[in-house]
Structure 1
Amino acid sequence: MKKPKLAHLGAPLADPRAFILENLHILPTPAVAEILLYTAHPASGLGKLGNQDIYGNDHPPYWAYRWAGGTVLARYILDHPAMVAGLHVLDLGAGSGIVGIAAAKAQATTVVCVDTDPYAAIASRMNAAVNAVNIDTICKDILDDDPPEVDMIAVGDLFYASDIAGRVVSYLDRCTTAGIKVLIGDPGREYLPHHRLRILSKYSVPDFGNGSAASTDTSAVYLFESKPA
């Protein structure tokens, strides 16, 4: 299963925050109604927003849609707040920030949302404000960096392409070696490293790729296990 391609993007706007405020709807998240998010809809005109990642490449506005991996991670964290309470948490590939917001609601000590999309960082901060929680955001590719000073990393929906999946696994290997716990949420995308995962919980949730339910396949939350010696 791959993330679907979205419409061609226009030239970037000068004020994406204003565009989000004026054109997206604040809605409860399917399966995670406790969290409100700025959400795309048929008349939101996202193609006018334009979007480039940190490399200057056209980047679809994934942050405006509800992906199953992030949804199930948020649901799991809210159902099991002891998993993150008092911990320092990093939400990798944060998109809308839903997972980081769930961790903040579950009383994580600090939450950092990381994404390579500048608009995702803006949307994450706006979504956090709507939900009355505090998060930090970093717009950067950190996959070649040393492990961060956190207790837990949450990863949703990053196994949709072989190149990114390989880099993510290498990064997570370094992180688990450093003693960081890793949770993964995914609906069974093509490059999910099943042999390294221990399932914690399954959910049936929609996977939003075009503003409607693209899939209701069972998604799951996994513990990423350390690489065998």
Structure 2
Amino acid sequence: MGYTGLDRKVIVVTGAAQGIGAAYARRLVAEGATVVAADRNGDGVRRLAEELGELAIPSELDVARADSVKELAAFLTDRFGRVDGLLNNAAIFSTIRMAPFWEITEEEWDSILRVNVTGVWLLTSALVDLLRASGSASIVNIGSDSVVLGRQNYLHYVASKGAVTGMTYAMSKELGGFGIRVNTLSPGPVYTEIARDTVTEAQKQAMLASQAIKRTAGPEDMTSVAAFLLSDDSAYVTGQTISVNGGLWHR
């Protein structure tokens, strides 16, 4: 705990109703940040805000809808006049049906790309003026090491996270002149309270055996890195992809 300046920051966390998203919000509030916890699950973020207290502000948000994103931007403009940090975490993941890419339906493809890629673009675009107003804002896009591992039967998700990583590189060039940093936090396998049908026990044990650190990752392994990237302690870090995978593979 104790990254520089987080206690003075207004940070938006998407996909905050459960899992790692809720863990990001908890960690940032513990650091003293004011967190706007956003999710399509309005009841979920309201429960989280009740748990975390006055530093957590719930927002019902669908990142895939331009009108919903604009409503959040208007609220933040009226309430704060700036945004110091944006954590683009919202994504379709745990409910994905695994299948060979030639069996993925067009509807499945479009729904995942709409949330996982278009949602990042829509929200970041809507908040650019507020991020510029901060003077030293940080954007953290959540990627996935599945992109480089080339995970099978997961092409729609892998493609979406590959796009997010590419967007980070381009955004960092376009926004750097405004004092805005953009990085990708790229998790390896992480296990939360959310049930996952996409990893068998045999697969889990095989990945664990390949890691340098011989334990599974929990949300706290991701939240500490996100807090660093959103803090002033990472003021000269931008345009980077940081893998947090226990040494499962190396860049």
Do both proteins adopt the same fold according to a TM-score greater than 0.5, normalized to the shorter chain? no
Normalization by structure 1: what TM-score? Answer: 0.42
**Larger-gyration structure (1/2):** 2
Q: Is the helix fraction higher in 1 or 2?
A: 2
